[in-house]
């Protein structure tokens, strides 16, 4: 049976994540109600606007159910999703879920005209050695706790970090045709007892 992965679908590019997961043979479910989480073996927090997502998560009481989910099952956060998953955020407008012991700074590279695409070395993904990383008004991971493992860096700063079942990255693999990061996440889900 296909592995069922939830994607938080309150706002953002959740449909792009769903398309990648389906290409990899997984089942993707758009989550708009926390009750839907029960049937999912993993969860993706997508890119979008972190202020909007945080407000809707508050309004629809997602914070506790998501924390509870992450204690038992893997979660991947990309860009805004990484901001929400962080332990500390530089901006009081966004309440952290605190799923992973990192601190983030929002829009750390500047405004949209500073958004960029670059090849980063990604030995954790096997061959080929590079990954084409798309950064859109991206955050920076400015501090990592001792339990975290940095998987990919750019200009000596961490851009993909893992702590147990929680994987966060500041760029957008769902916007490329390279599905290796989603494959890595599916492996985390499938290896979770």
Partner 1 sequence: MEKGTFETKVGLAEMLKGGVIMDVTNADQAKIAEDAGAVAVMALERIPADIRQAGGVARMSDPAMIQEIQKEVSIPVMAKCRIGHFVEAQILQELKIDFIDESEVLTPADEVNHIDKHAFRAPFVCGCRNLGEALRRIGEGAAMIRTKGEPGTGNIVEAVRHMRQVMGEIRRLSALPADELMAFAKELAAPYELVRKTAELGKLPVPNFAAGGVATPADAALMMQLGAESVFVGSGIFRSQDPARRAKAIVQAVTHYNDPRVLLEVSIGLGEAMAGLEIKDIPQEAQMQYRGW
Which region among 4-12, 21-29, 159-167, 181-189 touches partner 1 (by CB under 8 A)?
Answer: 4-12
Q: Which is nearer to partner 1, 74 or 77 (CB)?
A: 77
CB hemisphere CA count around 162 (13 angstroms):
11
Exposure of 163 in the CB half-sphere (CA atoms within 13 A): 18
79 an active-site residue?
yes
Among 62, 37, 19, CA closest to 182:
19
> Rounded to the nearest whole angstrom, what is the least distance from the CB of residue 179 to partner 1 in the complex?
17
* Known active-site residue 182: no
For residue 172, state whether it binds partner 1 (rule: CB under 8 A): yes
Integer Rg of the chain from CA: 15
Residue among 39, 64, 68, 114 that touches partner 1 (CB under 8 A): 114
Closer to partner 1 at the Cβ: 85 or 189?
A: 85
**116-145 binders of partner 1 (CB under 8 A):** 116-118, 134, 136-137
**At 24, is the secondary structure helix, strand, or coil?**
coil
Contact between 88 and partner 1 (CB under 8 A)? no
Of 47 and 65, nearer to partner 1 (C-beta) is 47
Query: What is the nearest approach in angstroms of partner 1 to the Cβ of residue 160?
Result: 18
- CB 47 → partner 1: shortest distance, Å? 5
Cis peptide before 128 (omega within 30 of 0): yes
CA distance 176 to 55: 28
DSSP state string for 118-130: EEEE-GGG-SSSE
Active site residue 64: no
């Amino acid at each position: 049976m296909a592995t069922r992965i939830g994607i938080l679908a309150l706002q953002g590019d959740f449909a792009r994540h769903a398309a990648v997961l389906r290409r990899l043979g997984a089942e993707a479910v758009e989550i708009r109600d926390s009750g839907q989480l029960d049937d999912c073996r993993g969860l993706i927090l997508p890119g979008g606007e972190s202020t909007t997502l945080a407000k809707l998560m508050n309004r629809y009481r997602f914070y506790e159910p998501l924390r509870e989910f992450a204690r038992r099952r893997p979660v991947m956060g990309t860009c805004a999703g990484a901001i929400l998953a962080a332990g500390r955020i530089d901006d009081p407008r966004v309440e952290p879920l605190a799923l992973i012991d990192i601190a983030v700074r929002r829009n750390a590279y500047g405004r949209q005209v500073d958004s960029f695409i670059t090849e980063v070395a990604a030995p954790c993904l096997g061959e080929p050695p590079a990954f084409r990383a798309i950064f859109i008004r991206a955050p920076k991971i400015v501090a990592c706790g001792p339990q975290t493992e940095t998987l990919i860096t750019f200009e000596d700063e961490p851009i993909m970090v893992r702590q147990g079942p929680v994987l966060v990255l500041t760029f957008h693999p769902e916007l490329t045709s390279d599905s290796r990061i989603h494959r890595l996440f599916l492996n985390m889900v499938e290896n979770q007892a």
